Amino acid sequence: MYSSFFCRDKQLFGNVFDLWLAGQESTAYTIAWIVLYLMKDLKAQEKLHAELTKVIDSDRFITHEDKNNLPYLNAVIAESQRLGNLLVNNIPRRLISDITYHGYTLKKDTIVVPEISQVLYDEKIFPEPHKFLPERFLDSDGKFQTKPELIPFSIGKRACLGESMARAELYLFTANLFNHFEVSNLHKKEENFFWGGCGKRSKEL
């Protein structure tokens, strides 16, 4: 019975479609935010290139083995996920019983929509929350230091199923893209921000 339930074509289609839908634009848009933030903040992009030049120093493929040696890259990804704030409102929940929370009584069956952005933009945890500041994820020794409040994948039992895959994609794509290219804003004006340029990085390091 177990296998006949899971082997139905409809079930398989539904599961694969879920993964495709949930996994595609979320990761692609996050990468787009990373590129745009670095296009806008050329100092941050210079720092990233300096780190890649220092640590990788070649055109070779950057792998997971390099991850711990690239703290600024990890900080750029973390800060882009925080500021990009992909899923502003999390997926709604329905209460299965009456609860009292911080003095508020909520009835069974109430729909609750957790706001991830309230956490990602909490200025007590992330001062100047609307600024792109990768340094907030570096400790005093320059090592990458995440924060428990960085929750773009949500938390709890129903948190993102594809988190580890998404993290791998964001890291590998960003690292290898910026090891080969620099991106810039062709018009140098805020209103033309989306008209970017992309050039091959010189490997005469």
Residues that bind ligand HEM (CB under 6 A): 18-19, 22-23, 26-27, 30, 86-87, 90-91, 152-154, 158-162, 165-166
Per the CB < 8 A criterion, the answer to whether 179 and 45 are in contact is: no
Distance of CA 16 to the CA centre of its chain: 22
Known binding-site positions for heme: 160
Answer whether 178's CB lies under 8 Å from 147's CB: no
Judged by beta carbon, residue 94 or residue 188, the one nearer ligand HEM is: 94
Residue 42 sits at φ, ψ, to 5 deg, of -70, -25
DSSP bridge partners of 101: 104
Q: Which CB sits closer to ligand HEM, 25 or 109?
A: 25
Least distance (Å) from ligand HEM to the CB of residue 151? 8
Shortest Cβ 204–ligand HEM spacing (Å): 34
Min separation Cβ 58 and ligand HEM, Å:
28
Specify the residue, 154 or 184, whose C-beta has the smaller distance to ligand HEM: 154
Q: Which is nearer to ligand HEM, 37 or 153 (CB)?
A: 153
Which position's Cβ is nearest ligand HEM? 162
Mark the binding-site residues, compressed into ranges.
160
Give min distance, CB of 185 to ligand HEM, in A. 24
* Per-position b or e across 93-121, b if 16+ CB within 10 A of its CB: eeeeeeeeeeeeeeeeeeeeebebbebbb
For the chain, how long is the longest CA-to-CA vector? 65
Least distance to ligand HEM from the beta carbon of 159, Å? 5
Q: How far apart are CA 181 and CA 196, in angstroms?
A: 12
Q: Which lies closer to ligand HEM via its Cβ, residue 80 or residue 182? A: 80
- Cα–Cα distance measured from residue 23 to residue 65, given in angstroms and rounded to the nearest whole number: 24
Nearest to 46 by CA among 193, 201, 154: 201
Report residue 38 as tokens: 């670095």
